Structure 1
Amino acid sequence: MRGNICVIASRLVGVSAEACGSSSTLTRCRAVTSTRYPNPAIGMEGQKRPYSQEFLRKSYIDHKALWERKKLPENVDSKNVFVSNELDLRTVDVYGFDYDYTLANYEASVEHLIYQLGRDNLVNKYKYPEEIKEFSYDPKFAVRGLHYDIEQGLLMKLDQFQQIQMSSIYRGLTPLSQAEVAETYGSRALPLSYVEGHLRGKQTMAHLADLFSLPEMCLLSQVTQYFMDHKLPYHSVSLFNDVKESIGSIHPEMHRIVAADIGNFLKKEPNLEIFFRRLKEHGKEVFIITNSPFHFVNVGMNFLLGPDWRDYFDVVVAGAKKPAFFVDRMRPFRELDTSPQGVQSWGPVECLEKGKIYLEGNLSELQRLKGWRGERVLYFGDHPYSDLADVTLNHCWRTGAIIWELEHETECLNSEEFKKTIGWLQMLQGLIESSQDYEDPASREVVREWETERDQLRQRTKELFNYHFGSVFRTHDNPTYFSRRLFRFADIYTCRLTNLNHYSINHTFYPRRGVLPHEYKSLFV
């Protein structure tokens, strides 16, 4: 071994192999052979080290010992407001809100109700097999932000590069293998034109980005599995459309049931009144724009803020039909008579008055009548697309997202098991990265063992969030498709609106300085 080292090193440092045999020169030679140098055989900057399998295994043990000594990170406070883009509240004069899952946070019983009504509708109206009525909702099956390939009948999780997260793609309730994914798509990366075909007039995939879509995903997957198990022929496009229409058509019945027993379906938020009182005390204008019908919103707001809830709002718009509200200028406002008859006006609305209720309308008319434009408006919603995309991209409003899943996500992040697993996973991946260019069979065997362990750790961290699909916000190393859109369209996000009570009305939210790939691995903090 010593002779081989001398021969290699002599070519690099300009000494003879015999001279390299001296102890002082040998030390120099060993140092040189531990540096990087061009390797024509692999056409890249390779590594040539006299290290053995034994050395790599010792390196693994040393890194494991270092990891075990490291202090675990502090917990993430779920009540924090998280920042994508700097936001100075001193510049905000107008606050706007969606209703469902923004002002109103529903109990899990609402998801069960939507599922049951949609399931029964599928059997009664579309004549699906009666056995389907025996299905029950599984709230632990899916997460928000998944994609459904309508033509292939596959439910999957994509990252920000439209890459499929392996082990998170299902036909029915059955996961696909890597070989099946390769056979279907050719690779795990999907073209943007395929993922976002709906923007080009051909919808091939559906992005299930709102919380009401969770029952839809569950029902769709269960019915698919039923057909597969019973070897019944079905068309994935027809099945998707039937389930979507079955769920979509039950909203009037769902609204009626929820409104009749609001305390069983809506979570009481004790600090919500404090939040709105503070806005009004500081002279802020406040509005609500929701797709829900007014009678449904009225019951919920009475429950949350009391019978005088409209005193907090300068403009109330129901039945807005977002996202069309933000882009369609041919939809005028109509005033609603709040008497039991609920008559809509047919004449033009010349001004938007406090205390009155308006239907439909459009954003351009709202801005013309109220003068609410640009960065002085901060609008909150739960859906990155239908609530936030248009107002931030086309009208420069500031935006906030209410993401209820953050409570569960931070609970998982704060668990000791996750902290230890993700810490060792990152250190192990660093070992793999620094050792991957060794070409000798013994070293490759060790690296393959590490890669197997890494894959097992990735799977474990995924399952801590959701067994089937993992975190709403991450695949393994990358943000999800959903979270990338969230960060683009929302300046701030938090799990509940009242978390803003912990900050001054003049607070400035600063984003964390992220490390770019070409910058220092860690900043001077």
Structure 2
Amino acid sequence: MCVTDKVRCSHGTRMMDKAEIISVYGPDLHWEHFEEAIGNVKAVGKDMKYRFFENYFDIPALVCCAHIVDILDEENGEPLKKYDFWKDVNHSFGENYIPTQFAKNAGWFFPRLKENPKTYLQPSSNGVKDWLKELKGDKRVVFLMTSSAIDFAGLVIEIVLGSDWRNYFDIYITDAKKPGFFTNNNKFKSIEAGIPGKEVNSLEPGKTYSGGNYADLMKFLEKQTRKSDPKVVYFGDSLCSDSFPAKVYGNWDVVLVLEEMEAEGYHPGSKDILEPKRKVPKHEVCLSTTNIKNLTALRWGTRKDSTQVNLNHCFPEELSYCCGFIQWKFISVIALPVFDRQELISDKEYLVC
């Protein structure tokens, strides 16, 4: 695994030294499949050739894969020339996370979540709820879009926003299959008796749908706003499923909610609240220099880019893959560790984590 094409690489959990990295990637330290991997970001299902581990939800699987490499190498007495365990890891993903497992109460993940959801889910603050109401009251169209199926999404959002969660949105889209949502032609389906039903040709406000595609959603937004090509600001927490496709294929402005930033010392301060309006947020860093050094030295490092932020936050030699990916084609208008009534920056100032 190589975190960037120039900085840190590991084989399994063992970090590689500079000479070993050069022997694998050449003197230019360039991974020959990088461009192909970037082009594969939007792929889903059988078309997915590369798996991106990008957030708290799936990074444990990356560590699992690294340990599998260690075990296979130990059994072989030396590093293998080829590894063929991904199909088994992918099968375990299906056993635990495939949407149909929720209704069956099967696997490990869904049953434990359903037993005590409040152990794993944190309700939104009143600030977020008030902000959503303000958006609707200001004649904007507010939509909720998730790739989760209707049953799982319903459980999560009722804990997060409460039983009246429908009051915060004009339309609800489940099983969106992001990032493919932005490039495919899947039809929207109505939700009937809690499950996807018939295909629909147009969307109606106040209803819940399954699947769909970017083009049909934009038609709905144009109709509701009475504007051609309405401006969309999209909040998401995934680089590959939210930020990249929404910006590159949808031309939406994107706010990336990246909670890992909080662990790296980037904390919203008291001045970030929405008063006065149009105020550019300022942030406080709560980690000491020693803590930052320790953090950036850990294994595969952080997501920060010291060339773009205050050098007290991180160091030039610690440019991370994720930070470069965030910067690539400016796929985020702004990145935040948490969202609680944050004011959007009106002049598109690109802040990187």
Query: What is the TM-score when the length of structure 2 is the normalising length?
Result: 0.75
Task: Flag the 1:332–1:510 CA change in 2: closer, same or farther, 3 A.
Answer: closer
Q: 1:235 deviation in Å?
A: 6.7
In the alignment, what sits opposite 2:255? 400
Contact 2:182 2:250 in 1 (8 A): no
3-state SS of paired residue (2:84): helix
> Map of 1:245-256 to 2, 5 A cutoff?
245-251=91-97, 252=101, 253=107, 254-256=109-111
In the alignment, what sits opposite 1:287? 143
Alignment of 1:197 with 2:49, yes or no, is no
Contact 2:264 2:295 in 1 (8 A): no
Q: 1:295 deviation in Å?
A: 1.3
3-state SS of paired residue (1:238): coil
Which of 193, 216, 241 does residue 365 from structure 1 map onto?
A: 216
Identity %: 19
Alignment of 1:417 with 2:268, yes or no, is no
> Map of 1:242-391 to 2, 5 A cutoff?
242-251=88-97, 252=101, 253=107, 254-270=109-125, 271-329=127-185, 331-337=186-192, 339=193, 342-354=194-206, 356-371=207-222, 374=229, 376-391=231-246
In the alignment, what sits opposite 1:226? 71
In the alignment, what sits opposite 1:217? 62
Task: Flag the 1:256–1:353 CA change in 2: closer, same or farther, 3 A.
Answer: farther
3-state SS of paired residue (1:156): coil
Q: Which moved more, 1:344-353 or 1:295-304?
A: 344-353
Which string of whole-angstrom CA distances, capped at 9 and with x for unpartnered residues, describes residues 326-355 of structure 1?
Answer: 1012x1100012x3xx3432243433231x
In the alignment, what sits opposite 2:322? 482
Which string of whole-angstrom CA distances, capped at 9 and with x for unpartnered residues, describes residues 357-389 of structure 1?
Answer: 100110111112331764621111112232122
Task: Flag the 1:215–1:491 CA change in 2: closer, same or farther, 3 A.
Answer: same
Task: Flag the 1:187–1:206 CA change in 2: closer, same or farther, 3 A.
Answer: farther
Relative contact order, higher structure (CA 8 A, sep 6+): 1
3-state SS of paired residue (2:56): coil
Which string of whole-angstrom CA distances, capped at 9 and with x for unpartnered residues, describes residues 414-436 of structure 1?
Answer: 43334xxxxxxxxxxxxxxxxxx
Corresponding letter in the other structure for 2:120 = F
Task: Flag the 1:284–1:375 CA change in 2: closer, same or farther, 3 A.
Answer: closer
How many residues of Structure 1 are paired with residues of Structure 2 in the alignment? 303
Q: 1:485 deviation in Å?
A: 2.7
> How far apart in 2 are the matches of 1:281 and 1:291?
27
Q: 1:170 deviation in Å?
A: 1.6
Backbone CA RMSD of aligned residues: 3.1
In the alignment, what sits opposite 2:349? 511
Q: 1:247 deviation in Å?
A: 2.4
Contact 1:379 1:399 in 2 (8 A): yes
> How far apart in 2 are the matches of 1:513 and 1:324?
26
Which of 179, 192, 195 does residue 19 from structure 2 map onto?
A: 179
Task: Flag the 1:513–1:365 CA change in 2: closer, same or farther, 3 A.
Answer: closer
Which string of whole-angstrom CA distances, capped at 9 and with x for unpartnered residues, describes residues 285-340 of structure 1?
Answer: 110111101111111211122111011111101011111111012x1100012x3x
> How far apart in 1 are the matches of 2:191 and 2:60?
32
> How far apart in 2 are the matches of 1:512 and 1:334?
36
Corresponding letter in the other structure for 2:22 = A
> How far apart in 2 are the matches of 1:194 and 1:378?
32
Contact 1:409 1:471 in 2 (8 A): yes
Contact 1:464 1:470 in 2 (8 A): yes
Contact 1:272 1:305 in 2 (8 A): no
Q: 1:284 deviation in Å?
A: 2.2
Corresponding letter in the other structure for 2:254 = T
Q: 1:394 deviation in Å?
A: 3.2
3-state SS of paired residue (1:344): strand
In the alignment, what sits opposite 1:33? none
> How far apart in 2 are the matches of 1:513 and 1:279?
23
Q: 1:180 deviation in Å?
A: 1.7
Which of 322, 334, 338 does residue 492 from structure 1 map onto?
A: 334
Q: 1:256 deviation in Å?
A: 4.0
Which string of whole-angstrom CA distances, capped at 9 and with x for unpartnered residues, describes residues 24-55 of structure 1?
Answer: xxxxxxxxxxxxxxxxxxxxxxxxxxxxxxxx
Contact 2:258 2:335 in 1 (8 A): yes
Q: Which runs of 5+ in 1 are unaligned?
A: 1-154, 419-459, 515-525
Contact 1:352 1:370 in 2 (8 A): no
Q: 1:480 deviation in Å?
A: 2.7
> How far apart in 2 are the matches of 1:261 and 1:392?
36
3-state SS of paired residue (2:181): helix
Query: What is the TM-score when the length of structure 1 is the normalising length?
Result: 0.52
Task: Flag the 1:484–1:374 CA change in 2: closer, same or farther, 3 A.
Answer: farther
In the alignment, what sits opposite 2:86? 240
Contact 2:253 2:333 in 1 (8 A): yes
> How far apart in 2 are the matches of 1:294 and 1:365?
20
Which of 463, 468, 471 does residue 299 from structure 2 map onto?
A: 468
> How far apart in 2 are the matches of 1:477 and 1:404?
22
3-state SS of paired residue (1:208): coil
Task: Flag the 1:236–1:316 CA change in 2: closer, same or farther, 3 A.
Answer: farther
> How far apart in 2 are the matches of 1:232 and 1:245?
27
> How far apart in 1 are the matches of 2:130 and 2:297?
34
In the alignment, what sits opposite 1:170? 10
